[in-house]
């Protein structure tokens, strides 16, 4: 008899997803799916709101990287008031960048220490009750404490600039609404109340040392597990081609490193991207138009960014990048599990960038606001912790938003995550008489490497769907209450 394996919910990811694997009578895998089970409708209900509400409202897409949404929307709204990123005051640019690096720093720390480390420290076949951050804190208290304090550092940077750690407000059209005081800045430099930015750099290096040791011990597994060819997409610095997280050109390469998207301007993105839709997931499947649905999909995020960039501007991270390149003989890296390593290199890069910005007195100026000539359309593209994030708004002459298009990072990774699930299904589960918990966790290990942010998402019960047939798209709640 054919059967269906369901992993639901996928845990230790932000938000909710669900996996189904379909097996035939001989326990051979027929098909596998990674379903995203939630739908929000932001693109529609934001219509009719004044454009300046977008950065404040849309960041509520995600509680882990609200800053990325806040900034991507802000960049789009800057265009509405007639400004390109380089038109903003130097201080505003630096404050926003610091905010962004603080955000990526905390998000990467969160992902590594709170969500992914149990798999690396205890192994994917450890007991499920042990695979969590609580167990990490018991068995590796020093490591756990550093992880918590690193996340705290990033969160505190965000709080200084945006007023609170989650869903704060920093940007207004054409600027930021709060200056940074010398006293606020020194909190991060003097190491009195919290470990200083120097400590963040040191600790980032320590954790990189950990992952490199891990790599040397588990090289074969890392090389093989969920490894498959794909395209890679990310922003690169406009002048140097270096790793770029805040503003740059879009570049994509294929699995061999050949350019498939040749450094295009953010404003042209619409000419190059389509989004496919499948019946079985609320998450869309973006791809490059000219390559088509089968060939045009890309991974995004730390691994993709390290693949598309030509270097890193900060010295310590640049050095780490070279070691990372050596591990794949300088070739484009298509191995899912290397995402963790790449993420930690970015962690170090963010720490270095935060230091550079915190020590820059431009940060403290009062010159915060610019104005240009009003436009009707704005596009903001940024590298969120999880990858390329696209916000696009059209606005009428009364200041109302009339259209909105959002392609969030995890959406780009949709196809990649499905391939990862499929890889584990075919290479680990296929043909097995008995499917063990550890095999199923490996499916999640593969998904977790992408640090998916399924936040527009929900949690489900193991044995659903139960009574779903009662609902259709017009089903109403009184039905539910009656049951």
Among 84, 202, 275, 430, binds other proteins (CB under 8 A): 275
Buried b (16+ CB within 10 A) or exposed e, 320-357: bbeebeebeeeebbbbbbbbbbbbbbbbbbbbbbbbbb
- Rule CB under 8 A: is residue 184 a binding residue for other proteins? no
Stretch touching other proteins by CB under 8 A, among 41-49, 206-214, 347-355, 422-430? 41-49
Asked if 18 touches other proteins (CB under 8 A), the answer is: yes
Contact between 33 and 146 under an 8 Å Cβ cutoff? The reply is no
Contact of 286 with 275, CB cutoff 8 Å: yes
How far, in Å, CA of 99 to CA of 82, rounded? 23
Q: Candidates 86-94, 167-175, 216-224, 326-334: pick the segment binding other proteins (CB under 8 A).
A: 167-175
Alpha carbons 65 and 101: distance in angstroms, whole number: 11
Q: Is 44 in the site for other proteins (CB under 8 A)?
A: yes
Residue corresponding to tokens 């997931």: 281
Of 218, 241, 274, 427, which one interacts with other proteins (CB under 8 A)?
A: 274
The CA distance from 111 to 125, in Å, is 20
Cβ distance to other proteins smaller for residue 116 or 243? 116
Q: How far is the CB of 19 from other proteins (least distance, A)?
A: 9
Q: Using an 8 Å Cβ cutoff, are 434 and 78 in contact? A: no
Interface residue with other proteins among 27, 28, 33, 210 (CB under 8 A) is 33
According to CB under 8 A, which one of 154, 286, 296, 452 is a site residue for other proteins? 286
Fill in the per-residue mask, 92 to 131: x = in contact with other proteins (CB under 8 A), - = not in contact: ------------------x---x---x---------xx-x
- List the interface residues with other proteins, window 59-98 (CB under 8 A): 60-64, 66
How many Cβ atoms are within 10 Å of 224's Cβ, its own excluded? 12
According to the binding rule CB under 8 A, does residue 172 interact with other proteins?
A: yes
Q: Does 461 interact with other proteins (rule: CB under 8 A)? A: yes
144 binds other proteins (CB under 8 A): yes
| 158: number of Cβ within 10 Å | 25
Are 418 and 78 a contacting pair, CB within 8 Å? no
Kindly tell me which of 285 and 338 has the beta carbon lying closer to other proteins.
Answer: 285
Select from 5, 120, 121, 133 the one that contacts other proteins (CB under 8 A).
133
Nearer to other proteins (CB atom), residue 9 or residue 302:
9
Residue selected from 238, 284, 370, 375 as contacting other proteins according to rule CB under 8 A: 284
Q: How many residues bind other proteins, per CB under 8 A?
A: 108
Q: How far is the CB of 313 from other proteins (least distance, A)?
A: 29
Judged by CB under 8 A, the chain residues 394 through 423 that form the site for other proteins are: 398-400, 403, 405, 407
Closest CA to 249 of 259, 258, 257: 259
In this structure, are strands 14-15 and 3-7 parallel, antiparallel, or unpaired? unpaired
Contact region for other proteins (CB under 8 A) — 97-105, 139-147, 254-262, 304-312?
139-147
Residue 177, interface with other proteins (CB under 8 A)?
yes
296 binds other proteins (CB under 8 A): no
Q: Interface with other proteins by CB under 8 A: which range of 148-156, 222-230, 239-247, 257-265? A: 148-156
β-partners of residue 36 are 17
Supply the minimum distance, in Å, between the C-beta of residue 189 and other proteins.
19
Residue 137 interacting with other proteins (CB under 8 A): yes
DSSP per residue over 152-188, as a string?
HHHHHHHHHHHSSSSS---EETTEES-PPPHHHHHHH
Query: Which is nearest to 350 in space by CA: 212, 203, 248?
Result: 203
Which of 229, 330, 431, 475 binds other proteins (CB under 8 A)? It is 475
Among 2, 3, 24, 43, binds other proteins (CB under 8 A): 43
Which range of residues in 38-46, 85-93, 332-340, 354-362 is near other proteins by CB under 8 A?
38-46
Part of the chain binding other proteins (CB under 8 A), chosen from 7-15, 183-191, 302-310, 413-421: 7-15
Q: Which tokens is 111 given?
A: 């992902």
39 binds other proteins (CB under 8 A): yes
For other proteins, give the closer residue by CB, 218 or 281.
Answer: 281
Evaluate whether 203 touches 142 at the Cβ level (below 8 Å).
Answer: no
- Distance, CA of 58 to CA of 50 (rounded, Å): 12
Cβ atoms of 420 and 447 within 8 Å: the answer is: yes
d(CA 378, CA 80): 5
In this complex, which beta carbon is closest to other proteins, that of residue 63 or of residue 431?
63
CA distance 433 to 444: 20
**Considering the rule CB under 8 A, would residue 466 count as an interface residue with other proteins?**
yes
Task: Label the pairing between strands 259-264 and 377-384.
Answer: unpaired
* φ, ψ (nearest 5 deg) of residue 356: -60, -45
Containing 270, the helix (H) or strand (E) segment is none
Comparison of 236 and 457: residue with beta carbon closer to other proteins: 457
277 sits near other proteins (criterion: CB under 8 A): yes
């Amino acid at each position: 008899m054919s059967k269906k394996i369901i992993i639901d919910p996928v845990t230790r990811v932000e938000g909710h997803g669900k996996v189904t694997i379909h097996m035939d009578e001989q326990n051979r895998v027929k098909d596998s799916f990674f379903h995203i089970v939630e739908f929000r409708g932001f693109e529609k209900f934001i219509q009719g709101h004044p454009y300046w509400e977008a950065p404040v409202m849309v960041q509520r897409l995600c509680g882990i990287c609200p800053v990325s949404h806040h900034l991507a929307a802000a960049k789009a709204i800057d265009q509405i008031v007639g400004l390109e990123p380089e038109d903003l005051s130097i201080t505003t640019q630096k404050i926003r960048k610091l905010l962004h690096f603080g955000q990526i720093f905390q998000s990467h720390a969160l992902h590594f220490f709170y969500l992914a480390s149990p798999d690396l420290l205890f192994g994917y076949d450890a007991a499920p009750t042990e695979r969590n951050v609580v167990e990490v804190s018991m068995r590796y208290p020093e490591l756990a404490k550093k992880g918590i304090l690193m996340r705290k550092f990033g969160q505190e940077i965000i709080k200084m600039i945006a007023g609170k750690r989650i869903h704060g407000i920093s940007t207004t059209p054409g600027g930021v609404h709060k200056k940074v005081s010398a006293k606020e800045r020194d909190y991060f430099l003097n190491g009195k109340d919290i470990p200083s930015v120097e400590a963040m750099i040191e600790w980032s290096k320590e954790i990189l040392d950990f992952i490199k040791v891990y790599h040397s011990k588990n090289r074969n597994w890392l090389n093989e597990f969920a490894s498959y060819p794909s395209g890679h997409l990310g922003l690169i610095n406009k002048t140097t081609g270096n790793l770029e997280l805040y503003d740059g050109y879009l570049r994509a390469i294929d699995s061999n490193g050949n350019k498939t998207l040749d450094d295009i301007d953010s404003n042209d993105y619409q000419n190059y991207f389509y989004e496919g839709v499948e019946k079985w997931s609320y998450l869309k499947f973006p791809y490059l138009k000219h390559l088509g649905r089968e060939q045009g999909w890309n991974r995004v995020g730390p691994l993709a960014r390290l693949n598309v960039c030509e270097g890193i501007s900060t010295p310590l991270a640049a050095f780490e990048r070279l070691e990372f390149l050596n591990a794949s003989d300088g070739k484009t890296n298509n191995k899912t599990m290397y995402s963790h390593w790449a993420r930690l290199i970015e962690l170090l890069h963010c720490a270095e960038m935060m230091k550079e910005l915190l020590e820059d007195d431009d940060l403290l100026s009062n010159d915060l606001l610019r104005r240009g000539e009003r436009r009707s359309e704005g596009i903001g593209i940024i590298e969120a912790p999880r990858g390329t994030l696209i916000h696009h708004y059209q606005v009428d002459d009364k200041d109302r938003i009339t259209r909105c298009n959002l392609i969030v990072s995890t959406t780009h990774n949709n196809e990649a995550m499905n391939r990862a699930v499929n890889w584990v299904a075919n290479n680990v589960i296929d043909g097995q008489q008995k499917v063990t918990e550890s095999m199923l966790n490996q499916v999640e290990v593969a998904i977790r490497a992408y640090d998916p942010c399924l936040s527009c998402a929900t949690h489900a019960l193991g044995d659903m769907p139960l009574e779903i047939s009662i609902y259709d798209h017009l089903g109403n709640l009184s039905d539910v209450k009656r049951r």
